[in-house]
Amino acid sequence: MSQVADKIALVVQDDPAKIAVARQVRIKLALTPTERAEARQLRRDVFCTEQGIFRDDDTDAIDAIALPIVALLEDSNGSQEAVGTVRIHESEPGIWHGSRLAVAQHARRIGSVGSGLIKLAVSTAHAHGCHAFLAQVQSQNVPLFRRLHWHSLSELDIHGRPHHLMQADLDFYPPISDGDIGFVLARNGTRGEP
Ligand SMILES: CC(C)(COP(=O)(O)OP(=O)(O)OC[C@H]1O[C@@H](n2cnc3c(N)ncnc32)[C@H](O)[C@@H]1OP(=O)(O)O)[C@@H](O)C(=O)NCCC(=O)NCCS
């Protein structure tokens, strides 16, 4: 079992059966109805219940055109649980955006799930001809994005919260065109086994 899976297993240590089968976190495009539904539920948990930015549902017009990405905690018995999500979309030729980045509370800061989602988001857009990848980042997350080779373009107030408009350095995000399979997080949060 990888170190990442060990750390993930620690968060379910109250359930010995779950520890025994916990295996890995896979980052991939959310293609199945179940993956998409779990990603949307996770967004509601984070942006409605936890942060209170939206009342009941954070769905908007971008969801009709965006590609959703999901982080799946995969067990050896074949069961899966969505523990993270983000979405990407192209607003004009070559200009891509990431939004609604969310990781389940029990999966944060233990296995670089958020960093893995950002990697597949930017690298998938790069494979689709992205020239500029942008995101409106909540200010408390700016250090994380800076470490992942993003820079701040301006400061904004969105939904009454301070944000930075940030841009990814595409040199650090080589194109990934097999997002349907995605990748398994390695111990340092980089792309692991396909
Ligand atoms: C922001 C968010 C997506 C980050 O998800 P995450 O899975 O915790 O992200 P990572 O693990 O890749 O990195 C988060 C931090 O954990 C650290 N970390 C990563 N792997 C680690 C590990 N194995 N051990 C200890 N720390 C680790 C990272 O260095 C980073 O440090 P920082 O907090 O000082 O920046 C998550 O906190 C979240 O969903 N927050 C609520 C919603 C939100 O703010 N969305 C983003 C809007 S812009």
Q: Ligand 1 atom closest to Cα of 118?
A: 12
When comparing pLDDT for 75 and 59, which is higher? 59
Q: Read off the pLDDT band of 192 (50, 70, 90).
A: low
Q: Is the CB of 151 under 6 A from ligand 1?
A: no
| Strands of the 67-75 sheet, one edge to the other | 150-158, 161-168, 132-138, 95-103, 80-92, 67-75, 22-29, 183-184
Q: What is the whole-number distance in angstroms between the Cα of residue 76 and the centre of ligand 1?
A: 25
- Mean local confidence (pLDDT), 62-70: 98
The whole model's pTM is what? Answer: 0.88
Nearest Cα neighbor of 180 from 76, 35, 23 is 35
Residue-wise pLDDT tens digits, 130-184 = 999 999 999 999 999 999 999 999 999 998 899 999 999 999 999 999 999 999 9
Biggest CA–CA distance in the chain, Å, is 50
Q: What is the pLDDT of residue 16?
A: 46
Token pair for 174:
């080589």
Q: What is the pLDDT of residue 77?
A: 86
Cβ–Cβ < 8 Å for 46, 59? no
Other C-beta atoms lying within 10 Å of the C-beta of residue 169: 12
Confidence class for position 17, pLDDT limits 50, 70, 90: very low
Q: What domains are defined for the chain?
A: 3-181 (3.40.630.30)
Number of Cβ within a 10 Å radius of residue 110: 17
* Ligand 1 contacts CB of residue 112 (under 6 A): yes
Q: What is the pLDDT of residue 188?
A: 52
Between 21 and 80, the higher pLDDT residue: 80
Tell me whether strands 95-103 and 132-138 are parallel, antiparallel or unpaired: parallel
Q: Cβ neighbours of residue 158 under 8 Å, at least 6 residues apart?
A: 136
Which residue among 109, 122, 140 has the greatest number of ligand 1 atoms within 8 angstroms of its CB, and so is best to mutate? Answer: 109
CA Rg, the chain, in Å? 16
Which atom in ligand 1 lies closest to the alpha carbon of residue 137? 48
Assigned token pair, 45: 């948990």
Name every residue whose Cβ is closer than 8 Å to that of residue 191 and which is 6 or more positions away in sequence: 119, 176, 183
* Angstrom distances, CA of residue 51 to CA of 68, 71, 85, 118, 188: 21, 20, 16, 20, 28
Quote the mean pLDDT of the chain: 89
When pLDDT is cut at 50, 70 and 90, the band that residue 11 belongs to is very low
